[in-house]
Copies of this chain bind each other. A is one copy, B any other.
Amino acid sequence: AQMSLEQGYEARREFDARYRLLLRSVRDAIVFVSVNEGRIKDLNEPAAALLGSTREDLIGVSFAQEFRDRRRDEFIESLVNTAISESASGFDLQTKRGRQRIVITPNVFRAAGERVLICRLSTTDGASAAPDDLS
């Protein structure tokens, strides 16, 4: 039993590591948001760039606060509704810091007893903030 507990533990440590590397390796701009608190749990550099700040400064802040004319509760509720709805259409917004028009494509999941939004951000011309090598 101890053995399998340890194996489970090791397996989970591997997912932690995979998660971190994956978030760092992708060019898509990604933000994880707690549904209950409305706060940014994690994000990558392309997302921080789109929001006009740094990862360090954005982790823990209210996600709604990063956009113009958005009240927290309504905002998070709309993201959850968009995530749940069948229509895959995104969510049009303007960032507060950089006045950048972006689209959010949200997805919602449950983990460790709380609901978490994973949001893919892209500029309205479809490109992500990452220097894209599309020709």
Interface residues, chain A, with chain B CB atoms under 8 Å away: 9-19, 21-28, 30, 32, 42, 105, 107, 109-113, 116, 118, 120, 122, 125-127, 132-135
Please give the count of copies of this chain that the complex contains.
2
Bound Cα distance A27, B29 (Å):
10
Q: How far is the CB of A24 from chain B (nearest CB, A)?
A: 8
A interface majority secondary structure: mixed
Q: Which chain B residue has the least Cβ–Cβ distance from A41?
A: B18
Bound Cα distance A116, B11 (Å):
13
Q: Does B26 lie within 8 Å of A30, measured CB to CB?
A: yes
Q: Which chain B residue has the least Cβ–Cβ distance from A19?
A: B19
Q: Which chain B residue has the least Cβ–Cβ distance from A117?
A: B21
Bound Cα distance A93, B126 (Å):
28
Known contacts A109-B17, A111-B18, A126-B133: does B32 contact A118 (CB below 8 Å)? no
Bound Cα distance A42, B12 (Å):
15
